[in-house]
Amino acid sequence: MTRSAEELLPFYVNGTLDAAERAEVDAALADSADLRAELEVLTALRKQMQAEEVESPGEFGLARLMRDVDRDGPASSAPGEEPGNVVPIRRLRIWQIAAALVLAIGLAQSVILLNAPGDPGFELASGGAAGADFVVGFAPDATEAQIRALLLNAGVEISAGPSALGLYELAVLDETGIQAAEEMLLAAEGRLIDTLEVIAP
Amino acid sequence: MTEDQTQAALLARMADGDRQALAALYRALEKPVFRFIRSRLNDPFEASDILHDVFMEVWRSAGRFEGRSKVQTWIFGIAYRKVIDAHRKRGRTDLVGDVPDSADEGPDAETCLAAGQEAEHVRHCLGTLKDDHRAAISMAFYDDMTYGEIAEIAGVPEGTIKTRIFHAKKLLMRCLSGRVARRAPA
């Protein structure tokens, strides 16, 4: 019994394999009594799982949803429309992102000079980069799935953004992993990330 | 019109503010989405809250659905991430569900089959899996999704999903076999 056929077996059971994959599993089943026994187990397991009744919120949940939708107001704008104050990142150019970073850093420095660090209300004018570990602009053709995988692998989460220029602030989930996160984000620069700024600790 | 096309049309109407379309989509997908959330959380009330949050987000984001995946896949992706957020907020760590030492230490399949027919054992053993293993096997067996769809929802490569389900299956069989063995007469 091959590892490949074993990995495909659950999807053979749920009927989602293509013809070539089914043929591969069929051939492996013909050769292996163990795999045939496993097929019976998985078939029974799936049947058991699907037979289980789950009490969902049903109409009560729908009523609650409608109440909150009414409070929330109308749904999002139609596909393709963007809120007037947001520039879609796919329209950005590198120089715009760079300019935004220079401006943000300049503003932050101005505020630092104008306010004593201990003053109540002291914060960076660049908006919340305090608490963020990185500021990134994602590549226009980076998909949501690619970005999500990158963030998960790097152990970071989006702490703010998108800014008006489409920049995001990222924070590491575990401070001890900041070095690894930086390396992973740097490795993605030029592919999924157009611009990366590492915020000094 | 396929089921997915019908659901995509509902999303398009929702983007224009059609609440009846939201109600129709909720009725079509509420049960599978809730079952998926519930399979990853022990608390039915928390699962209900997350279901509510998922459909609120679907309502708010309907206009941003680009049709690059099935509607169900898109909504399961939202639910997947919300459950991860819930686990993270609670500081939950996945201490269970270690990968088996080797593949050939698996239990006797016939024993598992007998155990697999008992709902209580199945529920218990699913509960011993790590969240990502449980989520993958839930989508494969509750919702009959392809490994490609599951990978898209979880945001990982297809090979990762095959490996997760491979290990989840081994762990389930080991757990089921162990429970049956403990109940067997001496």
pLDDT at A111 over 80: no
In a domain, B137, yes or no: yes
CATH number of the domain to which B153 belongs: 1.10.10.10
ipTM topping 0.90: no
Banded pLDDT at A98 (limits 50, 70, 90): low
- Residue B85 lies in domain: 3-90
CATH numeric code, A89-198: 3.30.70.80
Instruction: Measure in Å the smallest separation between the Cα of A87 and chain B Cα atoms.
Output: 15
Residue numbers of B between 149 and 168 with CB closer than 8 Å to A? 152, 155-156, 162-163, 165-166
- On whether both B61 and B119 belong to a single domain, the answer is no
The whole-chain average pLDDT of chain A stands at: 75
Amino acid B185: pLDDT = 54
CA-nearest of B39, B71, B78 to A56 is: B39
pLDDT(B164) > 80: yes
Higher pLDDT, B181 or A112: B181
Count chain A–chain B contacts defined by CB atoms under 8 A.
148
* Residue of chain B whose alpha carbon sits nearest to that of A9: B166
Q: How confident is the model at residue A159 (pLDDT cuts 50, 70, 90)?
A: confident
Report the pLDDT value the prediction gives residue A62, as an integer from 0 to 100: 94
B82, B118: one domain: no
- Does B174 lie at the interface with A, CB-CB under 8 angstroms? no
pLDDT given for residue A104 in this prediction? 53
pLDDT at A131 over 80: no
Residue B100's pLDDT band, with cuts at 50, 70 and 90, is very low
Alpha helix (H) residue ranges in A14-93:
19-31, 33-51, 58-72
Distance CA A46, CA B143 (A): 10
* pLDDT over 50 (residue B53): yes
Tell me whether the omega of the peptide bond preceding residue A162 falls within 30 degrees of 0, making it cis: yes
Confidence at residue B150, expressed as pLDDT on a 0 to 100 scale: 95
Quote the radius of gyration of chain B (alpha carbons, Å). Answer: 18
pLDDT top residue among A3 and B4: B4
Of A103, A101, A169, which is closest to residue A135 (Cα–Cα)? A169
Asked, for residue B97, whether it belongs to a domain, the answer is: no
B18 & B62 share domain? yes
Contact at CB, B16 and A64, closer than 8 angstroms? no
Q: What is the mean pLDDT of chain B?
A: 84
- Residue at which a domain ends, from B42, B59, B90: B90
For residue B71, give the CATH number of its domain. Answer: 1.10.1740.10
B34 neighbors B48 (Cβ within 8 angstroms):
yes
- The pLDDT of residue B112 is 53
Average pLDDT (A17-33) is: 95
Which has the minimum average pLDDT: B54-68, B92-106, B153-167?
B92-106
Among partner residues B55, B156, B165, which is closest to A149 by beta-carbon distance?
A: B156
Q: Distance between CA A28 and CA A12 in Å, rounded? A: 12
CATH number of the structural domain A1-76? 1.10.10
The domain total for chain B is: 2
Same-domain check for residues B110 and B54: no
CA distance A69 to A24: 49
Mean pLDDT, residues B132-159:
93
Query: A7, B166: Cβ pair inside 8 Å?
Result: yes
pLDDT at A61 over 70: yes
Is the same domain home to B119 and B145? yes
Question: Mean pLDDT across the stretch A84-101?
Answer: 44
pLDDT of residue B101: 38
**Same structural domain for residues B24 and B63?**
yes
Least Cα separation, residue B163 to chain A (angstroms): 7
- Mean pLDDT, rounded, for A22-36: 94
pLDDT of residue A100: 53
Give the range among A22-31, A97-106, A122-131, B4-13 with minimum mean pLDDT.
A122-131
In A, residues 40-59, which contact B (CB 8 Å cutoff)? Answer: 40-42, 44-46, 48-52, 54-58
**H helix and E strand count, chain A:** 7, 4
Contacts of A58 in chain B (CB under 8 A): 30
Where does the pLDDT of residue B38 fall: very low under 50, low under 70, confident under 90, or very high at 90 and above? very high
Domain boundaries, chain A: 1-76, 89-198
- How many Cα atoms occupy the beta-carbon half-sphere of B91 within 13 Å? 1
Asked if A1-76 and A89-198 have one fold, the answer is no
